[in-house]
Structure 1
Amino acid sequence: MKILKYFLILSVIFSASCSDYLDINKDPNSSDAINPEYLFNYGVIAFSANRNGGDGSIPLGFGSQIWATGWSEGWGTGSEDTYEFSVYTLNNTWSAVYVNTGKNLNQAIQIAENSVPKQSNAKAQCMIMQAYNFYQGTTLFGDMPFTEALKLDISEPKFDTQKDVLEGIIKMLDDAIDEVDLNSSLKIDDYFYGGDMERWIKAAKSLKFRTLMLMVDADNTKEAAIKTMLIDGGMISSTEDEMIFPFIDKTGNKHPMRAIREKYYGPSGIEDMFPGKSLVDIMNLHSDPRRPVYFRFGYTNEEETTLETNYIGCEATVDRIKNEPGATSFFNGDVIWAGDKGDEIFTYSEQLLLEAEAQIRFNNDLSKGRELFEDALEASCTRWGITTDLTEFKKTYPEFTSTSVALKAIYEEFWVDQMVRPGEAWTNWRRSGTIGNEIPALSAPENAKEGGAGIENMFRRYTTPPDVSSANPNAPEDVQFYDRLWFDK
């Protein structure tokens, strides 16, 4: 039933979003004369719909343990929190990269390139968005078609190594920046920046910086490029620069998680996903002011008239405690998944955390790292509408007296700040330490699908979709959920 639910809701989200956001009477893939803006917008809608829906968000939330199923009080035993991922999740997520987003953006790039006059800015916008698309794909699947992808004359594209995909993403971003013509009025009036190409350049540089930070543990030559980018700047530097897709609180345009909740929970308010213990424990330790925004207290009586007074997370594969003292908290879904909650593709707080990490690791500057870390706390709280003084909150974090102390605080804040983006939170967890030393500390849940030796029995990647493996002989064989990706050292 759950698998069908995922499939149906994604179908509804894709069809409703595209038809409602865009008033187009033609199939955008049937004409090579269509304005690239239409294709760009279709691709962007598909990108955000998948990231935040039943295939791109819920399985990653459960598998990473930042969210929890609550088992019999929630989704039931034997699902994503035990590393059993639906074939629909795998196939739909892969298709989102290559068909729903990749194909539209690729066609838009070709049209912009061949237009007279050439639409350089539109091409650049599409290339930057395509880079985000492939970045998301490779952090989930690892090796994947890139250099031969989206070419109609190649039916069985080769699988590039993840290193080569990431190198290709960096080149794509550099080439896109070179395409930008700040003096040209020919550009896409996009959902993110309304065609402001200076802010598009910042978004491109921030993704390049994120990509370098992902690669550096496996390729230490990236350290020099990271240091250069810290000096040169020009990345996302304010809330106005954030890359956020604007869902609208009306039928067909709502945030996908809101649509799912309305469709399947109904007026009874039934909840079946809960904040993970790893998340809540970190926030409790610091009396985090975001707790009442993220969570609601559990009930302590059968009548559901009395509430717990503590925030309590739910462990993976454990039945949540219901209607008695010590009841697990709920997510504050009406807020964190409001109909008009935007898709946080790249936020100012994330940029600050990445820079804080880089200053500490590569410049040995604990003082600058602390300054950026506190700025990140401010930016994250501000994004959630928290305007109270944060002085005491910041003091709950220990002084950055060593690299290990500082990085622990930073990686924990990635976990908290990116709670509604489990894919990004999970990616930062995978690169936060060596195997078994990641931050926060997690362990394989009881009854989890087994595989690998010891701590290797953890969710570290999506496996290659069965439809892909059967159709393309170049697909890697015997890929398992516990296999580490190239960047994951």
Structure 2
Amino acid sequence: MIGSLALGSCKKFLDINTDPNKSTSVEPKLLFGYAVTAWDVNKNSGDSWMNLGFIGQTIANGGDFSDNWGAFDIYDLSQNSMSNNFRMAYSTAGNNLVQAIKIAESSSPANNNAAAQCKILLAQIMFETTMNFGDIPYSQAFEPEKYPNPKYDSQKDILEDLLLTLDEAKSQMDPTSPLKIADYDIFYSGDLAKWKKYANSLKFKILMVMVDKDPSKASAIAALVQDPSQLVNAASENVRVPYSTTPNNENPKYRLFLEDNPFTYANKVMTDIMVPKNDPRLSKYFDLPAGETQYIGVESNVDADKHTALLGKYMFRKDAPSLIVSYQEMLFLEAEVYARGIGVTKDISKANDLYKAALIEAMRFYEVPQVQIDNYIANNLVDLRTAADPVKEIHLEQWVDLMDRPVEAFIQWRRSGPEGSEVPTLKVPFGATSGALLRRYILPSTETNSNSSAPSPIPPYYEKVWFDL
């Protein structure tokens, strides 16, 4: 479990108050706050959001028509970006959370709630890191003096341990104690009941990633969906990083594009799903060029033109929140569980109700007017009870909802079916460097050159990670 891991980082780390003439401790809340900032800025930047958006084909770079700098859509993976993602997980966000856990648990009295909060966030970051890179340093990753070359743990072992860590964090919480991270907790302001929901929701997501490779996880999934009050169960319980119009507190994508047209375009895969259904989120996701009335997407690395719909400025407005775990996400997963009968009796009618509720919540999150939502539900909603493939319909809408969350969209696409049957169907982009779709990040040379435990040969980007069928 993370709480009992060797606590350090992959190579070089931040030295925290090592001057013997100064305090030898930092408040856990400060380390927590820094970790959240480092993680979310990375997740919503050119190193993650843009790269995985191009790779996962939720957005398009417009080819030679664009001033965009993206080449990830043709699998030209920048070593700088790979290194920045790896460094965030270990040397900055991860290391700060590990130090916060140490300090919280060794304090007198112990601040068990702060430790639990940090463990949940660290589990989130490690989950995303193994989803992107596959096998990674984990059990030896956070004690460089003892393990200068930390071993690589299997993705399965990491996911199993994350499940244990989340249960440990929930058990560690003490609602009677005033000690916790509150003023620096931008998610829930120290509301431990909501933190437990966050832990359960992340656990649900991990289990859904694992269950097709390990069907024994079905019973744990059933235990969660049969009492959804354990999960994020309302929009007010969403895990999200808020941003504002205050200088230096804007959404990272706003700072990435500086409110200019980003020359990033609607991907044809996305518009091919949304346009036939007259999805009212189109006007939120994308902006129409002057004189256009139809949302036209472009394939990955194919040249856009003056008619191609652009990424909507609504999506990178200053105060756009960064969504981590959402109510609609839980509803879609619950719908999938009942549509497939994962640990529960298959119930398409119940799945249909959950699917409908998920779409309503997804549209509300993007501030679609209620009249447009009502019209869509009445006239364009696919009825799972009569659909030829209800699970496919759920997967399609799960993916559309994750358009602005490419880390999650990439996970969702890979777990949606065996290779060749994923939803939606993607094809290798024009000009890509191989005949296979990308299925993972490659390890950065900063890691492979400095850690003798790194795998050799380095797994190529088209090699599937453990959970990917």
Shared fold by TM > 0.5? yes
1:23 corresponds to: none
The aligned counterpart of 1:332 is 312
Change (3 A) 1:344 1:391: same
Partner of residue 480 from structure 1, selected from 453, 460, 463: 460
Between 1:391-400 and 1:154-163, the stretch displaced more is: 391-400
SS in 1 for 2:190: coil
Matched, 1:441 2:432: no
Query: CA separation in 1, counterparts of 2:438 and 2:289?
Result: 28
Question: Any residues of structure 2 matched to 1:196-235 within 5 Å, and which?
Answer: 196-233=191-228, 234-235=230-231
Correspondence for 1:150: 142
Code of the aligned partner of 1:419: M
Residue 48 of structure 2 corresponds to residue 72 of structure 1: no
Q: Shift in Å at residue 402 of structure 1?
A: 6.7
Instruction: Please identify, of 345-354 and 30-39, the stretch whose mean Cα deviation from structure 2 is larger.
Output: 30-39
Counterpart CA distance in 2 for 1:151 and 1:227 is: 37
Name 1:294's counterpart in structure 2: 285
Contact 1:360 1:403 in 2 (8 A): no
Q: Which of residues 403, 409, 412 is equivalent to 2:393?
A: 409
The SS at the match of 1:471 is: coil
Using the TM superposition, give the Cα deviation of residue 387 of structure 1 relative to its aligned residue in structure 2, in angstroms.
Answer: 3.1
Match of 1:366 among 348, 369, 392: 348
Partner of 2:304: 320
Equivalent-residue separation in structure 1 for 2:386 and 2:128 (angstroms): 32
Number of the residue aligned with 1:128: 120
Report the Cα offset of residue 249 of structure 1: 2.2
Question: Cα distance, 1:224 vs. partner?
Answer: 1.2
Indicate the residue corresponding to 2:254 in structure 1. Answer: 258
| Partner-residue secondary structure (3-state), 1:221 | helix
Give the C-alpha shift of residue 250 in structure 1.
2.8
Q: Determine the structure 1 residue equivalent to 2:163.
A: 170
8 Å Cα contact 1:397-1:409 kept in structure 2:
no
For the pair 1:194 / 2:189, whether they are aligned, the reply is yes
2: CA distance, partners of 1:298 / 1:386: 20
CA distance in 1, matches of 2:358, 2:336: 11
* Aligned Cα root-mean-square deviation (Å): 1.7
Q: CA deviation at 1:272?
A: 1.6
**Structure 1 CA distance, aligned partners of 2:417 and 2:59?**
21
Tell me whether 1:161 sits opposite 2:144 in the alignment: no
Separation (CA, whole Å) in 2 of partners of 1:412 and 1:440: 6
The match for 1:356 is 335
Q: CA deviation at 1:77?
A: 8.8
What does the per-residue CA deviation read over 1:232-288, in whole Å, with 9 as the maximum and x for residues that have no partner? 3311000111000112223322111100111xx7xxx44321111111111112111
Do structure 1's residue 238 and structure 2's residue 219 form an aligned pair?
no
Q: Is 1:273 matched up with 2:261? A: no
1:298 offset after TM fit, Å? 2.0
Offset at residue 78 of structure 1 (A): 7.9
Pairwise CA distance, 1:27: 7.6
- Counterpart CA distance in 1 for 2:283 and 2:406 is 19
Residue 82 (structure 1) aligned to one of 67, 74, 83:
74
Q: What is the aligned partner in structure 1 of residue 4 from structure 2?
A: none
In the alignment, the residues of structure 2 paired with residue 247 and residue 36 of structure 1 have an alpha-carbon distance, to the nearest angstrom, of 22
Q: Encode CA deviations 1:308-352: one digit per residue, 9 max, x unaligned.
A: 110111111110022xxxx1101112x111111111011111111
Say yes or no: does 1:468 pair with 2:447: yes
Match of 2:376 in 1: 393
Question: What amino acid sits opposite 1:256 in the alignment?
Answer: P
Asked if 1 retains the 8 angstrom alpha-carbon contact of 2:105 and 2:111, the reply is: yes
Amino acid at match of 1:162: Q
Q: 1:404 to 1:229 in 2, by over 3 A?
A: farther
Q: CA 1:381–1:398 in structure 2 vs 1: closer, same or farther (change >3 Å)?
A: closer
Rounded Cα–Cα distance in structure 1 between residues aligned with 2:17 and 2:404: 32
Question: What is the deviation of 1:220?
Answer: 0.8
Q: Distance in 2 between matches of 1:29 and 1:463?
A: 34
Out of 399, 406, 411, the residue aligned to residue 422 of structure 1 is 406
The DSSP-based 3-state class of the residue aligned with 2:152 is coil
Q: Greater shift after overlay, 438-447 or 389-398?
A: 389-398
Alignment partners' CA distance in 2, 1:90 and 1:402: 44
The answer to whether the 8 Å contact 1:32/1:111 transfers is no
Q: Are residue 342 (structure 1) and residue 288 (structure 2) matched?
A: no
Q: How far has the Cα of 1:230 moved from its partner?
A: 1.3
The answer for the alignment partner of 1:16 in structure 2 is none
Contact 1:293 1:332 in 2 (8 A): yes
Counterpart Cα distance in 2 of 1:292 and 1:249: 22
1:76 is displaced (CA, Å) by 6.3
| TM-score, scaled to structure 1 | 0.87
Specify the code of the residue in structure 2 equivalent to 1:79. Answer: A
5 Å matches for 1:24-35? Answer: 28=16, 30=18, 32-35=24-27
Q: Hey, what's the Cα distance between the residues in 1 that align with 2:169 and 2:395?
A: 30
Determine if contact 1:366/1:402 at 8 Å carries over to the other structure. no
| Mean Cα deviation higher: 242-251 or 430-439 | 242-251
Stretch deviating more after TM superposition (38-47 or 411-420): 411-420
**Distance in 1 separating the partners of 2:39 and 2:69:** 30
Given the superposition, is the C-alpha separation of residues 270 and 341 from structure 1 closer, same or farther in structure 2, using an over 3 Å criterion? closer
1:434-470 deviation per Cα after TM superposition (whole angstroms, max 9, x unaligned): 111111111111211115xxxxx00110011111111
Relative to the length of structure 2, the TM-score reads 0.91
Letter in 1 for 2:242: P
Structure 2 SS opposite 1:285: coil
State the shift of 1:403 in Å.
8.2
Judged with a 3 Å threshold, the aligned counterparts in structure 2 of structure 1 residues 402 and 110 are, in CA distance, closer, same or farther, namely farther
SS state at 2:249 partner = coil
Runs of 4+ in structure 1 off by over 6 angstroms are none
Change (3 A) 1:72 1:124: same
2:30 counterpart letter in structure 1: Y
Cα distance in structure 1, aligned partners of 2:226 and 2:60: 41
CA 259–74 in structure 1, closer or farther in 2 if over 3 Å, else same? same
Aligned partner letter, 2:192: M
**More relative contact order in 1 or in 2 (CA 8 Å, sep 6+)?**
2
Q: Write the distance in 2 (CA, Å) between the matches of 1:122 and 1:428.
A: 31
- Where in structure 1 are there 5+ consecutive unaligned residues? 1-25, 300-306, 452-456
Number of positions where the alignment pairs a residue of Structure 1 with one of Structure 2: 442
